[in-house]
Homo-oligomer: A and B are copies of this chain.
Amino acid sequence: MEVKEKTSQKKLYLTDDLPFKSAPTTIGKYLLNKLNHLGVEHIFGIPGDYILKFDKLIEEHENIQFIGTTRENTAGYMADAYARARGLGVACITYGVGINIANATAQALVESVPLIIISGAAGSEEFIRCNELHHLINQTTTNYSDTTQLEIFKQITVGQAVIDNQQTAAKDIDTVIEICLRKKKPIYIEIPRNMVDVPIEEHIYHPPPKQISDTNVLEESVQESLKILQQSKQPVIWLGYEVHRFGLSELFLKFAEKYHIPITSTLLGKTVINEDHPLFIGVYQGDLSCDEVREYVESSDCLLAIGTMLNDVNTGIFSAKIDQKNRIFAQSDSMQIGYHHFKEINLGEYLQKLYEDQNSITYNLSFIPASKRNKNSFAAKKNTKITSKAVFDCIETNLRFGDIIVTDIGDCLFGSSEYVLDKGCFVACSFFATLGFGTPGAIATQLASPNQRVIGIVGDGAFQITCTELSTAVRYGIYPIIIVLNNHGYGTERPLIEGEYNDVLDWDYTALTKVFKGGVGIECTTEEEFEKALLKALQDPNQLYILEVELDKTDFSPSLNRFVALVNKAKSQSN
Question: Would you call B55 and A133 a contact (CB within 8 A)?
Answer: no
Contact partner, A515, options B106, B152, B507, Cβ 8 Å = B507
Any B CB within 8 A of the CB of A130: yes
Q: Which residue of B lies closest to A147 (CB)?
A: B155
Contact in complex: B515, A515 (CB < 8 Å): yes
Query: Which residues of A42-100 have CB atoms within 8 Å of chain B's CB atoms?
Result: 45-49, 52-53, 55-56, 58-59, 66, 68, 70-73, 96-100
- Minimum C-beta distance from A459 to chain B (A): 13
Enumerate A341-361 residues with CB–CB distance to B below 8 Å: none
Return A503 CB to nearest CB of chain B, in Å: 7
Please determine whether B70 and A464 come into contact, CB atoms closer than 8 angstroms: yes
Q: How far is B311's CA from A250's CA once the two chains are assembled, in angstroms?
A: 57
Chain B residue with Cβ nearest A59? B499
Q: Does A535 contact B (CB under 8 A)?
A: no
Quick check: A103 and B109 within 8 Å, CB to CB? no
- A174-182, A376-384, A448-456, A468-476: which one contacts chain B? A468-476
Given the interface pairs A471-B507, A496-B52, the reply to whether A97 lies near B132 with Cβ below 8 Å is no
Say yes or no: is A309 at the interface (Cβ < 8 Å to chain B).
yes
A156 on interface, CB distance cutoff 8 Å: yes
Name A139's closest neighbour in chain B (CB-CB): B155
Q: Does the CB pair B312–A134 fall under 8 Å? A: yes
Chain A's interface size range is 35 or more
| Alpha-carbon distance between A436 and B436 when the two chains are bound, in angstroms | 18
- Interchain CB contact under 8 A, A471 and B311: no
Are the CB atoms of A66 and B109 closer together than 8 Å? no
Does A336 lie at the interface of the complex (its beta carbon under 8 Å from any beta carbon of B)?
A: no
Chain B contacts of A137 at CB under 8 A? 106, 109-110, 155-156
B135 touches A433 (CB 8 A): yes
Do the beta carbons of A501 and B68 come within 8 Å of each other? yes
**Nearest chain-B residue to A309 (Cβ)?**
B132
Q: How far is the CA of A133 from the CA of B315 in the complex (A)?
A: 10
Which of chain B's residues have a CB closer than 8 A to the CB of A474? 505
Given contacts A152-B156, A507-B516, contact A100 B102 (CB under 8 A): yes
In the bound assembly, the distance between CA atoms of A330 and B20 in angstroms comes to 56
A32 sits at the interface (CB 8 A): no
Residues of B within 8 A of A502 (CB): 47
Contacts of A503 in B (CB 8 A): 68
Taking the complex as formed, is A23 at the interface, i.e. its CB lies under 8 A from any CB of chain B? no
Q: Is A431 an interface residue (CB 8 A)?
A: yes
Q: Are B134 and A433 in contact (CB under 8 A)?
A: yes
A463-514: which residues lie under 8 A (CB-CB) from chain B?
Answer: 464-468, 471-472, 474-475, 490, 493, 496-497, 499-509, 511-512, 514
Residue among A47, A107, A467 with the most chain B CB within 10 A? A47
Identify A56's interface contact among B435, B461, B497, CB under 8 A: B497
Query: Does A151 lie at the interface of the complex (its beta carbon under 8 Å from any beta carbon of B)?
Result: yes
Closest to A311 in B: B132
Task: Assess whether A318 is interfacial by the CB under 8 Å rule.
Answer: yes
**A130-B310, A511-B514 are known contacts. Are A465 and B70 too (CB-CB below 8 A)?**
yes
Q: Is the CB of B156 within 8 A of A155?
A: no
Q: What chain B residues lie within 8 Å of A464 (beta carbons)?
A: 70-71, 468, 471
Minimum CB–CB distance for A40 against chain B, Å? 17
Q: Mark A116-140, 1 if CB is under 8 A from B, else 0.
A: 0000000000000110111111111
A313 touches B134 (CB 8 A): yes
| A59 close to B501 (CB less than 8 A) | yes
Is the C-beta of A532 less than 8 angstroms from some C-beta in chain B? no
Q: Which of B58, B136, B432, B496 is in CB contact (< 8 Å) with A134?
A: B432
Please tell me if the beta carbons of A135 and B465 are within 8 angstroms of each other in the complex. Answer: no
User: Which residues of chain B are within 8 angstroms of A52 by Cβ–Cβ distance?
Assistant: 493, 496-497, 499
A232 at the interface (CB under 8 A from B): no
CB distance from A361 to the nearest CB of B (A): 32
A311 to B133, Cβ gap below 8 A? yes
Whether A431 and B134, one on each chain, are in contact in the complex, defined by CB atoms closer than 8 angstroms, is yes
- B98, B156, B501: the one contacting A139 at CB < 8 Å is B156
Contact call B509/A515, Cβ cutoff below 8 A: yes
Q: Using A48-B493, A99-B106 as known contacts, list a sample of 10 further A-B pairs with CB atoms less than 8 Å apart, ordered by residue number in A.
A: A46-B435, A55-B497, A56-B499, A73-B100, A96-B106, A134-B311, A151-B155, A152-B152, A465-B468, A507-B517
The 4 closest A-B pairs by CB, nearest first: A132-B311, A511-B514, A475-B505, A52-B497
Q: Can you offer 30 A-B residue contacts whose CB atoms are under 8 A?
A: A46-B461, A46-B501, A49-B496, A52-B493, A52-B499, A55-B497, A55-B499, A68-B501, A68-B504, A70-B464, A70-B465, A96-B103, A97-B107, A100-B103, A106-B148, A110-B138, A129-B318, A132-B310, A133-B311, A134-B432, A135-B433, A137-B155, A139-B156, A148-B155, A152-B152, A464-B468, A468-B468, A471-B507, A507-B515, A511-B511
